Structure 1
Amino acid sequence: MTTVHLGAKTWVFLNSKRVVAEIIAKRGSATNTRSPMPVSSGIVSHDRRSLLMPQDKWAEPRRVMHSLLSGTALQQYGEWQETESTQMMAEYVLKPRAWYRHHYRYANSVVHRIAFGERLIKSTKELEDMQNCVTFFVGSIGTSVIDWFPDLDRLPKFLQVWRYYWKPLGDWNYDVYRSWWDPIRKKVDAGKAGPSFVRDSLLHPETKYTGNDENAMYVALQLIEAGSDTTREALNIFVMAALEHPDVFLKARAEVDRVCGVGKDARLPRLSDMEQLNYICAMAKELLRWRPIFVLTPDHTASKDIEFEGYVFPEGTGFVINEVPVGAECERPDDFWPERWMDGHETDIAHGLWQFGGGRRICVGYRLAQRSLFINIARLVQCVDFRPAGFYNPKVLNLEATDEPFPVQVTIRSKEYEELIFQEATAAEVLEDAKLVRDNIKL
């Protein structure tokens, strides 16, 4: 553990799996809340992003989002994940140079369908705006000195000169959310919306969600922005791993070929193959350990004094999972080595891995994320070859880039696999949609 004083706050960085498990998981009831962030949580997020909410405000959106973890919901969402993945594979064949764009289209479309119950029909500008909502919000966390001295938020509004800088960003974010929210809200009210998280959980009378319309909007749109951006980034990391560790890639392909056939006898992997494709499941976990998307998790703030192994941490102390040393606390930490996860828990992506947070504030969508990573990694391993197309730094992924994050040459494994992909896309009725994506991407 390392104690750091940041402005008026005290953060304790947790640098090993053992202390993370003890503080975040076992003492989760006392480390559930968040420290105040008047800029990133307040002004930028209108006090409605549950990621940074204190315990008393976070519990209600958390409760309604638990429906995402039910077995029935996962089965329904799984059908959509497979359909969108099939379209992504067709996009790979039709426009291989835009591989990174296909990752984002897939991720955003899946979570959009889960949240709103309809396939994604958004312009490139609308998609970029949604991605920027995430980028600008994350970039605001801790950027302002006010977040480190939150008592300054008590000053009269006319003295809070920082508001003139941050308020336009918060209002722009709100307007983007509203442009996505209003159409689906009208469909739900008119009885014209399909099955979805919004219709069946968030706005359903039996859920008794106590938040107002704006609260509901932020719950739904957070699901979209978080679910789409992290899946996109993880798939980009997978491509980097394929460039850096082709031996692992080929071992994974051999597993998929064993289960799904080869050449003319092949079929695309399905979510029902998860129990038989343990190495693919282990690859998904290793991606998040090897190049963690979140270097630091938001602080878990103590709601009361905590005593731990002779140390006393007063109420208000923030505990932060320091993902890099925690992930490196293993054999051969610099290697991409999925075998480290072959321990009988391959199909539980949160077991032994802290990228989704932990304790009671673990990301509620982690099972959805696992299934998206599994189906796409398995299919890309089976059908696509990746080669470097220029110089790159394997430790710099530029995860927030809207352009190609590193140079990659993409080719389909063989004509047989092109035909397989087109057959599956035709059967799923997404081939024409993939062609539209190809025609609308300008590179």
Structure 2
Amino acid sequence: MLSGTDLGSILGVFGALWLIYQWLVPGTFLSKLGSPERQLPPGPRGLPIVGNMFQFTKARDAGLWAPFLASLLQYGPMTTLHMGSQTWVVLNDPRVVNDIINKHGKITHERPEMPVAGTLVSHGLRTVIRPTAGWTEGRRVMHHLLSGSVLRVYGNWQEIASLQMLAAYLREPTRWYAHHYRYSIAVLYRLVMGEHLDKTQTQLDEYQQVTMEFTWSLLRSFVDYFPQCDRWVPTRLQWWRPGWAQMGDRHHRVLQAWWDPIRTAVRNGTAKPGFVRDTLLHPAMRYKGGEEEAMYLATSVIAAGSDNTRMTLNTFLMAMISHPETMARARKDMDALCVGPDGALRLPGMADWEQLPYLAAMVKEVLRWRPTTPITPQHQLTEDLEYAGYRFPKGTCFVINGIALSQQCEEPDRFDPSRWMDGNEGNITHGLWAFGGGRRICVGYRVAQQALYIAMARIIYCFDLVSEGPVNTRKLNHFSLHQQPFPVKVTVRSPQHEQLIQQEVATTGNVFPPM
């Protein structure tokens, strides 16, 4: 039974939230006490206290997130959503995104408080949503891992890892989606841990489950919309805490199991060359974080990079079976390069990058056509900002609307790589916001670009892809571990292509060259 003090605390929380809502939402009593400068860009009408929170979560949970985010275009280049006690300004226009996220990146790089996804589920240490104070040091270290100077080395490893994927396509064509994940995680594991990926399928499933649960946890709890609750409600009355804390502890155990072997090897002097040994834990780097921070940093690089590549490759297969003419064009370009005068075959690789501009454009079009990250985590203002006639107060959250941005072209539902053939098809961030922007841009975008290019080129070159049933290209289930997200038949293109794969695997497919 609640005591009078407990009941007073709860009523005080909701009273404070009501006052916050009245102050923030245009048209309410307290908001009218401000000057016209306080007015924000237009947006859909919300409910008392919760604002637009339920509209957002209902659309997301019903699989209608994309239509909801696309509908925000009707309000103009910026749309205001009142999400609990937070004010979101959703950015729907490329120019506005560039102005606010890039040009004003110095004051739009902070992350808001996330008591559930950030603290309970991530122990306050997952890089992508850490506040700036804890994020800066990890960012400094990651630049050494993902700098352009080592891209050629990474490209070599990606080519070798792709051979294992092609061989798996031959053995188990119905599990293509699982092969995408093993491929995407294999290179990152090698880069970070220094070892060849030797995990069982059960271990990979467990790690993938952790990554997907973290993604799922983002903005699932009302507490992340009302972070004040974490401070104002006594801990013993926080009924939401046990379940989320258990998830976070389970995630920690899985990540620890992947981290302990490399940490032990570094201590014993037996670790192989890799990010952990040569950068993160190297004395010359003078990393200021603790071991827990190092563990989350290393495992977050593997998790984030592998999962986004996996999802994008799944989307790529959907694009190929729904728009086969694009696959035929890309294959024609590769045949011209990779089939010798005597009919001898070779696999396309990084050396062919500049001679395959249509394929480079295809990588960008896959990311545009069906964004795997419909919105970015919030960029929170660290000081007031005046822009486009509005005055955004400190604490406003800016969100990049990937769905709206992806539709600002002719026939946005049509998969057409040629729309990127403008001389910048090799620059994956030119005109594309799939990796975020500003100071929080994903530092691994070049590595991801190479991984996608190599996998897509070799799948197109070696395999035929045909739909085996109706495919809803507007909806792709990325959260399935053990079944096809959509029906597709994968067959090797010819006996010669099968022989080529087997020969390449036999000679180089099981060997990673030294760093």
Please, what TM-score do these two structures have when normalized by structure 2?
0.82
- Measured after TM superposition, the shift of residue 232 of structure 1 is 0.8
Counterpart CA distance in 2 for 1:268 and 1:316 is 51
Q: Does structure 1 residue 52 correspond to structure 2 residue 52? A: no
Contact 1:68 1:364 in 2 (8 A): no
| Secondary structure of 1:385's aligned partner | strand
Contact 1:68 1:197 in 2 (8 A): yes
Question: Structure 2 vs 1, CA of residues 191 and 341 (structure 1 numbering), >3 Å: closer, same or farther?
Answer: same
Contact 2:92 2:401 in 1 (8 A): yes
Q: Does structure 1 residue 427 correspond to structure 2 residue 513? A: no
Q: How does 1:145-160 map to 2 (within 5 A)?
A: 145-154=222-231, 155-160=233-238
Partner of 2:403: 324
Counterpart CA distance in 2 for 1:321 and 1:70 is 25
Partner of 1:112: 189
Paired residue type of 1:303? T
1:281-303, Cα deviation, whole Å (9 max, x unpaired): 10010001000001111011111
Q: Does structure 1 residue 209 correspond to structure 2 residue 290? A: no
Percent of residue pairs bearing the same amino acid type: 49
Partner of 2:89: 12
Partner of 2:198: 121
Q: Which runs of 5+ in 2 are unaligned?
A: 1-77
Q: How does 1:349-364 map to 2 (within 5 A)?
A: 349-364=428-443
Counterpart CA distance in 2 for 1:72 and 1:143 is 39
- Measured after TM superposition, the shift of residue 344 of structure 1 is 1.2
Contact 2:381 2:393 in 1 (8 A): yes
Q: How does 1:15-414 map to 2 (within 5 A)?
A: 15-154=92-231, 155-261=233-339, 264-402=343-481, 403-414=483-494
Counterpart CA distance in 2 for 1:269 and 1:346 is 18
Paired residue type of 1:180? W
- Measured after TM superposition, the shift of residue 347 of structure 1 is 1.3
Contact 2:163 2:509 in 1 (8 A): no
Counterpart CA distance in 2 for 1:275 and 1:9 is 46
1:60-102, Cα deviation, whole Å (9 max, x unpaired): 1111000123234222222211110011111112221211111
Counterpart CA distance in 2 for 1:215 and 1:147 is 22
Counterpart CA distance in 2 for 1:156 and 1:389 is 55
Deviates more, 1:368-377 or 1:69-78: 69-78
RMSD: 1.2
Contact 1:68 1:74 in 2 (8 A): no
Paired residue type of 2:295? M
Which structure would you say has the larger RCO, counting Cα contacts within 8 Å and 6 or more residues apart? 1
| Secondary structure of 1:87's aligned partner | helix
Paired residue type of 2:287? Y
| Secondary structure of 1:393's aligned partner | coil
Counterpart CA distance in 2 for 1:189 and 1:72 is 28
Superposition misfits of 4+ residues, deviation over 4 angstroms: none
How many equivalent pairs are there?
431
Paired residue type of 2:209? N
Partner of 1:437: none
| Secondary structure of 1:331's aligned partner | coil
1:385-422, Cα deviation, whole Å (9 max, x unpaired): 00011222122210121121111111111111111111
Paired residue type of 1:235? L
